[in-house]
Structure 1
């Protein structure tokens, strides 16, 4: 009896082990081959598993991949907690949870330095579609830093104003013909004093949290056309500690003191900045060229009518003119592939598919019946398309959809098209370089020092005469070493 019991227990144990192994194999097979589809884990800033639009969008890509490329995938969207995307993403990655496809908006370099991101250049070279749509600045960035890809048009921050207010102002024509700093000041002044919206706007321009967005408008006019400015003796100095920067900060302080710059700009986030614009509290808002300007235009027309469609304003003109120099050291944001993914080739095939005519149809136009309707062989875009849809992946500079867009509902509004044209017209390449790892901590401290000082100057907490003190502090915080490095790299 005892022997029979032991034999029975042994048999149960064997079956248990076999069952566990079988379940483990099934789980592994299920992870890899979910109903014949390979699971690809994706983390993207604006998509999550609880968003029905996100789920529908990735379902459409799954269907397209299967029908057009005979690729079976199952997307699993990785959710992040609310808050700063870059910070939350880094917490996820540092925990060891690294999805197959990752959208970065900062924080990627530490991962690349650890060898955790895949070099994309060999894949692009052998691609079917992507190799034909990347721009020269994308190529330069990939050569310098081959881990991120972001095929989008040049996208500086471009200022816009509603047309009904713009058309009421006496200084508008002069500004457009000759957008000097003085003429911009006069335009701002009239906008607030005349208040073409009745009792609005309350201030001329709003930005989100710091002066980066307004710098796009004014940097080059004040002579800041590169990150590193060449002095008369041929040496280079950092633009933010230059005399040109000092002169620009005096101008910003003037705008703030006279109530032309949003007095709450420091506490503004992107959503409250936009609310101030659509509510009419701010007359001008800088927005990312292209689709963001298009969304702004659509929302403003919805809120205030067709006469309030947006006018794109030019960059200020002075020593130079433009929306700032374009950094070609690396993509500041973009999509990466995990070097540890078991499905790297498949992930890239997905990225390549999104550059195909079929992939672009999904990515650029959204859902039929919601964002567009097919009428007489043409796509008619809806109000919902203009107010909410955006491309998650690629936006080639030269794009002709397979099905043409109806002329009455263009892909981009006039102001959005103008913003992209301005970006190309005023393109200038920067001379910045990737800061070596051993200097990154110092560089971050120096940037924080810069932000703190500029805030104090603009808001009047410190006099402009303290600029020399700031330069001294900046050099002591590591600026002197990095300036030497810059002169070594740039000569």
Structure 2
């Protein structure tokens, strides 16, 4: 199937060779013009807000001298990735393509533009990038997704923290004391059963606690100075031993391995567990609102990760916008993105429609009860560059988002080549299976660690390590 797409690309490139040079980018001598066809999951002509939002962006661009039309290509949200692939294989290649996976195979054919030189010439977009955006574009230059990193923020009820008699923790020792003080503590006349929960596996716990055990990046040096994966490091061993002690004492909910995110949240709202991790920003805001709804008067507090560091995977964006090399509208596309990243564009993107999602009295903006239902379609600028005069986030949610910015550290992960896919999957499956065996006490970090390391290497970890040692 990919062969067909390659043939289509060659034909289109041959046509491009005969076209005149593209107009200059915004801020240069010539204004941009043309029709931009965009395909994006959940951006549909059947949604009046999507249509109206795109229309006002067109009007704002026209006021700046650009004659740009934006055409939404409808593609059902269910099965989006598969339907997108079929559309591209048919030869229908829009000017802006939103990928949610499946982009690597196409990028390897040279079908997607390098976005770095285009972004560098923009007035606003280049400044609106988050730190992880810049790092990811450096490693994989084909996807643009200017949104906050999906860092995790630990939260708990304020009255529960007060019931423990402890202060908000800042070190691993203080975290251990707090988590162990939660089971049995009473809120609303009911004793909390467990200190913490994470859904399905330990990934959410790792996001907060890895750095406290010296696991600040995926690849690290062992005592002999050799590059190894953090999952077979001594820090990992110590961390799993701590998890196991929490599990054995009932501090870590023993049902975490069979709990999805819905179960996790339900146990949090009903007071069965004390601490959960939410995605920084809007999700923390949802937790805050839902907790107050279920338990009137209840407030949440944001806790600090014990090491004050959160490593973020910067190998590539997992989703985002790509520009095919076949487009004739590069200048128009970049004018569009640059406007949306601008202060005026962000007012539209982040706050919705005046009179509907917010009201204005002079320079004072006030949110309506509909603002919470609005979401940015294309860009959520780094708050260190621009912050709208009215934040749709609560102070707690905004603090969680800022925490992710302040504690950001780029991980040293990278994109794996396709021939290592089986090794990566095998090592990950082996790791996840055995982590629960360690945490539940079936395996011991004292007696079974060496066998675990050997098994992980044999399951694909050795091939991963050999490759990493050649590229890092």
Could you tell me the TM-score, scaled by structure 2's length? Answer: 0.81
Q: Is the 8 A contact 1:208 1:269 kept in 2?
A: yes
Distance 2:342 2:179 in 1: 45
The equivalent residue for 2:404 is 423
Q: Is the 8 A contact 1:149 1:334 kept in 2?
A: yes
Q: Is the 8 A contact 1:118 1:338 kept in 2?
A: yes
The equivalent residue for 1:488 is 470
Q: Give per-residue Cα distances to partners, 1:11-63, cap 9 Å, x unaligned.
A: xxxxxxxxxxxxxxxxxxxxxxxxx983623223x555555554554455455
Distance 2:402 2:387 in 1: 19
Q: Is the 8 A contact 1:241 1:471 kept in 2?
A: yes
Q: 1:203 to 1:244 in 2, by over 3 A?
A: same
The equivalent residue for 1:311 is 301
Q: Is the counterpart of residue 221 in structure 1 residue 212 in structure 2?
A: yes
Choose 90-99 or 460-469, whichever is displaced more.
Answer: 90-99
Q: Is the counterpart of residue 390 in structure 1 residue 375 in structure 2?
A: yes
Of residues 438, 448, 453, the one that matches 1:471 is 453
* 1:326-405 equivalence runs, <5 A: 326-341=312-327, 343-385=329-371, 387-392=372-377, 393-400=379-386, 404-405=389-390
1:224 counterpart SS class: coil
The equivalent residue for 2:72 is 75
Q: Is the counterpart of residue 191 in structure 1 residue 197 in structure 2?
A: no
The equivalent residue for 2:10 is none
Distance 1:60 1:299 in 2: 33
Distance 2:194 2:82 in 1: 33
Q: 1:479 to 1:272 in 2, by over 3 A?
A: same
Bigger Rg, which one: 1
Q: Is the 8 A contact 1:206 1:261 kept in 2?
A: yes
Q: Is the counterpart of residue 147 in structure 1 residue 129 in structure 2?
A: no
Measured after TM superposition, the shift of residue 170 of structure 1 is 0.9
Gaps of 5+ in 1: 1-35
Measured after TM superposition, the shift of residue 287 of structure 1 is 1.7
Distance 2:75 2:277 in 1: 31
Q: Which has the higher helix share?
A: 1
Could you tell me the TM-score, scaled by structure 1's length? Answer: 0.78
Distance 2:434 2:92 in 1: 38
Measured after TM superposition, the shift of residue 224 of structure 1 is 0.8
Q: Give per-residue Cα distances to partners, 1:163-189, cap 9 Å, x unaligned.
A: 232233212x1x43x432x43233223
Distance 1:399 1:125 in 2: 16
Measured after TM superposition, the shift of residue 206 of structure 1 is 2.9
Q: Give per-residue Cα distances to partners, 1:66-95, cap 9 Å, x unaligned.
A: 55544222323321326xx76776677677
* 1:52-451 equivalence runs, <5 A: 53-66=49-62, 69-81=66-78, 99-171=94-166, 173=167, 175-176=168-169, 178-180=170-172, 182-199=173-190, 201-305=192-296, 307-316=297-306, 321-341=307-327, 343-385=329-371, 387-392=372-377, 393-400=379-386, 404-405=389-390, 410-451=391-432
Q: 1:341 to 1:481 in 2, by over 3 A?
A: same
